[in-house]
Amino acid sequence: MGKRFLNHGGWLKIRTRIKKTDGFSLIELISVILILGIVAGVVAPIFDTNSTSVTLAAATIETDLRFTQELAMARNPTSGAQEVGITFTAGLGDYTITDPANMFTTTRVLPQGVIVLTAPTTTGGKIAFNKYGEPEIGASNVTFNIGGGGEIAQITVEVYSGRVTYTKL
């Protein structure tokens, strides 16, 4: 079917074509792929799993130190061999929670690629707690570092309260 238009004093018949509208054109497909590539390039660095692993490891160590503190208060240990504590060794990807009553002694493995960079400066790298929940770490706060994938977290145990905090460096 055609439409008629007035053209210089006469009628001109213009043919109209019916277009198929199935699918997408090549230009539309390339445009969508280009936009998705740009979005992926911007969003991908946000999901850095190495930093997530270090943060997760630091939070796990913080929780385990608090658990060990509570375990020591529940066990009412005497000083020395009966202390409940956690031992860290520089260069390893794990640490050991020690319970002299052997009710809960375990080795925790850090996420893949995360290691203890600097061990606590206590004897044998052990952070132990007495029956009052106070850390047996000497006269000052103890700090040690864990890291992996270019990320480092510093964990601090306060001298009198045993409060545990971590910060990313």
Same domain, 154 and 119: yes
Provide DSSP, the chain. -EEEEEETTEEEEEE-PPPP--S--HHHHHHHHHHHHHHHHHHGGG--HHHHHHHHHHHHHHHHHHHHHHHHHHH-PPSSTT-EEEEE-TT-SEEEEE-TTSSS-EEEEPPTT-EEEE--SSGGGEEEE-TTS-B-S-SS-EEEEEEETTEEEEEEE-TTT--EEEEE-
Same domain, 42 and 53: no
What is the tens place of the pLDDT at every residue in 43-89? Answer: 776 665 555 788 888 888 899 889 888 888 887 766 555 678 888 88
What is the tens place of the pLDDT at every residue in 144-155? Answer: 888 888 888 888
124 pLDDT above the threshold of 60:
yes
Mean pLDDT of 85-100: 85
Please tell me the distance from the alpha carbon of residue 87 to that of residue 97, in angstroms, as a whole number: 7
Same domain, 27 and 74: no
Residue ranges making up the domain that contains 99: 49-168
pLDDT for the residue numbered 29: 87
pLDDT for the residue numbered 108: 87
Same domain, 92 and 132: yes
5 pLDDT above the threshold of 60:
no
pLDDT for the residue numbered 12: 55
164 pLDDT above the threshold of 60:
yes
Number of folded domains in the chain?
2
pLDDT for the residue numbered 73: 83
Q: What percent of the chain has pLDDT over 90?
A: 2
pLDDT for the residue numbered 70: 87
In the block, residue with structure tokens 């860290």: 88
Same domain, 18 and 91: no
Same domain, 125 and 80: yes
pLDDT for the residue numbered 146: 87
* Average pLDDT along the chain: 79
Same domain, 26 and 76: no
